[in-house]
């Protein structure tokens, strides 16, 4: 299927370019947008691997939620300051070194040892395509991976507790609307009829 290959190469080149954009753009907002784009293209690549549910959840969670937070943070920065104090060049050689190591490893893995990968059965053939991808995942997640799933619940609870305890500051002297008080007002307490004696000449 040549068409799929074309699509794959198009998306992977976009992915590589946008990932480069994340680190090369001086303006952090552009970096964040590159990151969003790279998430979208990786979602497309996952789709090519038949991981339908995960691909869309990648967009839903990372693009739809995580990157919104990133943009919130990045937009608050004073852009001109950030660009001036960019320390990219100091870290670059080290990062390049690590990156090269990882690339080298991947190449060795894929190139030299590619014959070994045939021993793991290809996941696509195993899938029962009559049931949706999501249903299959759900069936596995809530039975076989029950323990991990509940741990995930506690990690989310922990995230709630930690984020609130770290960011929430109660400001003093604020007036809040308390609906129940507004609704339960007793009119006789709010209004008082006063008899005023008319002035006499």
Stretch 107-166 residues interacting with other proteins (CB under 8 A): 108-109, 112-113, 116-117, 120-121, 129, 132-139, 141-166
Binding part of the chain for other proteins, among 14-22, 82-90, 169-177, 189-197 by CB under 8 A, reads: 169-177
The only residue of 17, 23, 56, 82 in contact with other proteins, by rule CB under 8 A: 56
Site string for other proteins, 15-44 (x = CB under 8 A): --------------x---x--x--------
Binders in 59-118 for other proteins, by CB under 8 A: 59-61, 63-66, 68-69, 71-73, 75-80, 102, 105, 108-109, 112-113, 116-117
**What's the CA gap between 181 and 107, in Å, rounded?**
68
**What's the CA gap between 120 and 136, in Å, rounded?**
20
Size of the site for other proteins (CB under 8 A): 84
**What's the CA gap between 37 and 88, in Å, rounded?**
22
Buried b (16+ CB within 10 A) or exposed e, 55-90: bebbbeebbeeebeebbeebeeeeeeeeeeeeeeee
Token representation of residue 6 = 């074309």
């Amino acid at each position: 299927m040549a068409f799929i290959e074309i699509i794959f190469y198009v998306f992977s080149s976009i992915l590589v370019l946008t990932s480069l954009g994340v680190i090369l753009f001086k303006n952090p907002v552009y970096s964040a947008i590159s990151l969003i784009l790279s998430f979208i293209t990786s979602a497309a690549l996952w789709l090519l691997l038949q991981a339908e549910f995960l691909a869309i959840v990648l967009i839903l969670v990372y693009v739809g939620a995580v990157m919104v937070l990133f943009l919130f943070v990045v937009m608050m920065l004073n852009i001109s300051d950030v660009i001036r104090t960019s320390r990219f060049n100091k870290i670059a050689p080290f990062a390049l070194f690590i990156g090269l190591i990882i690339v080298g490893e991947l190449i060795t893995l894929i190139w030299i040892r590619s014959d070994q990968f045939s021993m793991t059965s290809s996941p696509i053939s195993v899938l029962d395509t009559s049931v949706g991808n999501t249903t299959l995942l759900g069936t596995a997640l809530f039975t076989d991976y029950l323990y991990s799933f509940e741990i995930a619940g506690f990690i989310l609870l922990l995230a709630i507790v930690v984020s609130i305890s770290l960011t929430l500051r109660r400001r003093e002297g604020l007036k809040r609307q308390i609906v129940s008080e507004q609704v339960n007002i007793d009119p006789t307490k709010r209004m008082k009829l006063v008899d005023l004696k008319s002035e006499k000449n």
